[in-house]
């Protein structure tokens, strides 16, 4: 019997994409034998209300640069447009309509699993996909507690052994603002892009969310 093909869905703000994201996607892609891992930079992140984010187009380009050369990785702008918060459940519904035969595997770090019950319609998300969770340094989360709060997650949660890279986009932005190097925290082409566009030099980006 042939198994349904599995496609990894990796949503994030990616402001900027860094080696923590890439190592997570690579480890999950390999461990769960995903045909593709598709990165979906989010236009208006619903989990970060009030937090200014860089222009969507810049985050898209950095993600594109970051994944270049990995044959399993791809990028989509499906979640990029729009001023309204974009909900994961809606994204998954759209993707499912496009590839109805695939099992969707939504990839998150442990901090996102911890917050997952507070997301918009977590049971709806769990019904649309499997959830693959990677470790994040400094974050302890009890999957049983999460499943108790989101019953649809039962039997749909994969805890994947992933490299623990203590890197966050917040720290990267702070380092750039402080004039500290971010080399080796992000892929070199992303580093070049940040320097050439003079990103993250101010406390808030000049035009939040503009494209």
102 vs 168, beta carbon nearer ligand ATP: 168
Between 46 and 97, CB nearer to ligand ATP: 46
Classified as helix, coil or strand, 160 is coil
- The DSSP element (H or E) to which 40 belongs, if any, is strand 36-41
Q: Looking at 58, 89, 108, 153, which residue binds ligand ATP (CB under 6 A)?
A: 108
**Contact predicate 160/27, CB 8 Å:** yes
Residue found under tokens 């603002």: 177
Piece of the chain touching ligand ATP by CB under 6 A; list 60-68, 87-95, 162-170, 186-194: 162-170
| Smallest separation, CB 188 to ligand ATP (Å) | 18
Q: Which of 11, 8, 20 has its CA nearest to residue 164?
A: 20
Q: Binding to ligand ATP by residue 61, rule CB under 6 A?
A: no
> Of the candidates 8, 43, 109, 205, which one interacts with ligand ATP according to CB under 6 A?
109
The yes or no reply on residue 44 touching ligand ATP (CB under 6 A) is no
Q: How far apart are CA 175 and CA 71, in angstroms?
A: 31
Q: What are phi and psi of 170, to 5 degrees?
A: -60, -45
Q: Least distance (Å) from ligand ATP to the CB of residue 170?
A: 3
**For residues 5 and 101, is the Cβ–Cβ distance under 8 A?**
yes
Which residues form the interface with ligand ATP (CB under 6 A)? 12-15, 20-21, 24, 108-109, 111-112, 134, 136, 165, 167-170
């Amino acid at each position: 019997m042939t198994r349904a093909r599995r496609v990894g869905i990796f949503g994030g703000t990616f402001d900027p994409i860094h080696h923590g994201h890439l190592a997570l996607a690579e480890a999950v892609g390999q461990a769960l034998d995903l045909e593709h891992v598709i990165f979906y930079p989010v236009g208006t992140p619903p989990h970060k209300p009030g937090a200014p984010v860089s222009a969507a187009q810049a985050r898209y380009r950095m993600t594109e640069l970051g994944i270049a050369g990995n044959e399993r990785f791809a990028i989509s702008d499906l979640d990029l447009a729009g001023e309204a918060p974009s909900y994961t459940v809606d994204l998954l519904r759209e993707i499912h309509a496009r590839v109805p035969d695939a099992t969707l595997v939504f990839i998150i770090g442990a901090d996102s699993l911890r917050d997952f019950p507070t997301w918009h319609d977590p049971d709806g998300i769990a019904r649309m996909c499997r959830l693959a969770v990677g470790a994040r340094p400094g974050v302890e989360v009890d999957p049983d507690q999460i499943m108790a709060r989101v019953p649809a997650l039962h039997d749909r949660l994969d805890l994947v052994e992933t490299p623990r890279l203590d890197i966050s986009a917040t720290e990267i932005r702070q380092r750039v603002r402080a004039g500290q190097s971010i080399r080796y925290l992000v892929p070199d082409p992303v580093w070049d892009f940040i320097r050439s566009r003079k990103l993250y030099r101010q406390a808030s980006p000049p035009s939040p969310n503009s494209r």
